[in-house]
Structure 1
Amino acid sequence: MLEAGDGVVTAAHRPRITGVGTAVPPASYSQQDVLDAFAISDPKITSVFRNSAIDRRHLQLPEPGPDGVRSPETQGDLLDKHKRSAVEMGAEALRACLKRAGADLSDLRHLCCVTSTGFLTPGISALLIRELGIDRHCSRSDIVGMGCNAGLNALNLVAGWSAAHPGELAVLLCTEACSAAYAMDASMRTAVVNSLFGDGAGAIALLSGPQEAAPAEEGPTLLKFASCIIPEAVGAMRYDWDRDLGRFSFYLDPQVPYVVGAHAEIVIDRLLAGTGLRRSDIRHWLVHSGGKKVIDSVVVNLGLTRHDLRHTVGVLRDYGNVSSGSFLFSYERLLDEKAAEPGDYGVLMTMGPGSTLETVLVQW
């Protein structure tokens, strides 16, 4: 029996997921395409790309010049790209989400926007309200810089808003223009990033209130959240200033997958504590597509199968790591598969800088 407190969402108005939508830029690149675009031939670096378990990614790379060379973009150019792309992808994902939820822009009462691939003031929520003509009285929030785990951090907060405003529609939007954070060089530090991340946006709609108010194609109810930060690994994943390049760039420690995997069991045990559930009772696992080694580490440490994480693996293969929105791409695939049945339990998990793991328990 779930009781209030310790991450449990209040039973009276537990939010339900009523829609999801995703969007990507039109241009898609194979790993070899990206190697060619960056003119990378170092065998050590090319092996990182070829062993990534990624087939294609959607990216917005600079156009080749007359000599066929793609010139590095300035930090200002990258920030402009982030603003343009995050808003365009975000608008498309938001519309798709509302359509699936059977709602219109006029129904939106709270919009929370998440991004880590650029900094804007005013934030993406304000830009989208202007761009789409959303009601100026729509409340909004922006979460910037938390990284790949931020989607579930934000979902926790939006779930609280939804529970406090029964019958009012809230949408969480994660929009990440990862190619606006690319450094065009042949170093091993940037090779890890350039081989992994893709551009994409995902949106998810929440509604709490009486069950009879739920749409026909209702998603799961959010039951409980649990988090785990690893303070000793605070510098393992970061986006900071590269003095040599004169711009921001990502850094991922090679040990990140193993550190995260070793803590996956801790956070899942906390999530299930007091629920009467065991891991074997969880039918659907939707884990952030953080990379091949991250996925393998989670599989091993939680005793899961590749089938359990088939959507996570598929999203990584087809889109790469799309940062905070990755888990929404997996959730969309699960819905399209129509494998979830009433009463099924599921776990959504993200991980990112901090180093941090975020989880939520849901039930259909």
Structure 2
Amino acid sequence: MTVDTAPPGVPDETRAPGRRESGFLAAPRLAGVGTAVSATSYSQREVLDAFGITDPKVWSVFLNSAIERRNLTLPAEDAHGVRAPESQGDLLDKHKVLALEMGGEALRACLKDAGAELADLRHLCCVTSTGFLTPGLSALLIRELGIDRHCGRADIVGMGCNAGLNALSMEAGWAAAHPGELAVVLCVEACSAAYAMDSTMRTAVVNSLFGDGAAAVALRAEPGPVRGSESPGGPVLLKFASCIIPDAVDAMRYDWDRDQGRFSFFLDPRIPYVVGAHAEIVVDRLLEGTGLRRSDIRHWLVHSGGKKVIDAVVVNLGLTRHDVRHTVGVLRDHGNVSSGSFLFSYERLREEGVARPGEYGVLMTMGPGSTIETALIRW
């Protein structure tokens, strides 16, 4: 199943044939970005040593992950240097603390980058899959940071690594309907709050991959005719396309482990091949009706899902290693930070300063469902 949407204000040339045109009413732009991580960074060897892991198979998984360091908040050592397993209640408490800390830092950094303040925020959408909060993270942050009580909010919980683009699509629609007002997507993944040790390879694979991280992106739609490079600021969001793979709905999932008394994440070894096989389908749908070919896309910002996932996307889309340099760099330095990974890559592209007016980019995330989400942007 494929779904594609274009928010109001998308130029005619990016719309598929037969779609009702609405002109240039309000084009949502990426106005700023900010990221944050938890306080402590570990190398893969340090994580193995911290838990006293000696199994050569587990060591191989960790050391062949293309990850050098990750930010994690591990349980404290006891008097004997042992890190005791954390209960599900402790993990939920950890999620709340880390989510507020990292979320607040990433949100402030994003607003500063956008030349805005907390008082300018009109709508906040928070994304997380590493814990459950009621009231949601958006409400807690509004109270914690003193954001205007009339700020609109939404929480997307449990969609996984693809959810950042799901939220971006929703906020783009909100921004287009409220020209000139500021909206923010905030992805907060305290992956340490889903980190638990047992002797299974299933747990080892998950524990070798994820790291703590938060990322925020600000959107503002400009009223009146806006054509790509005619206005200063970040790239315009043009179109979204999505593809869910029902046959692989259980390939990535968060289950309750009755033996351990906690949640446990599962990653099917076939995920890279499933994602790779469907990457072309959704990207072609994204570009349908735009007059663009894949070779016209100058910038690719792909979710740092893991070495094999990145390699599968590169092969199936015919990309170069240069195309995914930021994706690979984020995986190397932070591991998989779930829903916010693509925004870490976008921040690095911004800092690199190579994007030029009129150039196109594709954002791509993938996660449970199994789902691939994409967005087309233009500077």
TM-score above 0.5, yes or no: yes
Match of residue 363 from structure 1? 378
TM-score (norm 2): 0.93
1:246-261 matches, within 5 Å, as 246-261=261-276
Deviation of residue 6 (structure 1)?
7.0
Residue pair 2:24, 2:224 contacting (<8 A) in 1 also: no
Match of residue 296 from structure 1? 311
Residue pair 1:24, 1:200 contacting (<8 A) in 2 also: yes
1:16-95 matches, within 5 Å, as 16-95=29-108
- State how many pairs are aligned: 364
Match of residue 282 from structure 2? 267
Deviation of residue 276 (structure 1)?
0.1
Match of residue 104 from structure 1? 117
Can you list the C-alpha shifts for 1:60-102, whole angstroms capped at 9, x where unaligned? 0001100000000010000000001011100000000000000
Residue pair 1:176, 1:199 contacting (<8 A) in 2 also: yes
2:178 matches 1:183 = no
Can you list the C-alpha shifts for 1:236-287, whole angstroms capped at 9, x where unaligned? 0001101121110100000001100110000000000000000000000000
Match of residue 172 from structure 1? 185
Q: Secondary structure at the match of 1:148?
A: coil
Deviation of residue 217 (structure 1)?
6.1
Residue pair 2:26, 2:225 contacting (<8 A) in 1 also: no
Residue pair 1:7, 1:226 contacting (<8 A) in 2 also: no
Q: Secondary structure at the match of 2:70?
A: strand
Match of residue 227 from structure 1? 242
2:225 matches 1:205 = no
RMSD, aligned α-carbons = 1.9
2:15 matches 1:3 = yes
Distance 1:7 1:259 in 2: 34
Residue pair 1:18, 1:217 contacting (<8 A) in 2 also: no
Distance 1:282 1:88 in 2: 36
Deviation of residue 12 (structure 1)?
1.6
Letter paired with 1:334: L
Letter paired with 1:298: V
List structure 1 runs of 4+ shifted beyond 4 angstroms.
4-10, 211-214
Match of residue 118 from structure 1? 131
Cα 1:89–1:211 change in 2 (3 A) is farther
Deviation of residue 200 (structure 1)?
0.3
Can you list the C-alpha shifts for 1:309-338, whole angstroms capped at 9, x where unaligned? 000000000000000000000000000000
Can you list the C-alpha shifts for 1:327-361, whole angstroms capped at 9, x where unaligned? 00000000000010000100000000000000000
Distance 2:334 2:219 in 1: 25
Can you list the C-alpha shifts for 1:97-137, whole angstroms capped at 9, x where unaligned? 00000000000000000000000000000000000000000
Distance 1:36 1:91 in 2: 31
Q: Give unpaired runs (5+ residues) of structure 2.
A: 1-12
TM-score (norm 1): 0.97
Distance 1:329 1:10 in 2: 32
Distance 2:232 2:336 in 1: 28
Match of residue 313 from structure 1? 328
Letter paired with 1:353: P
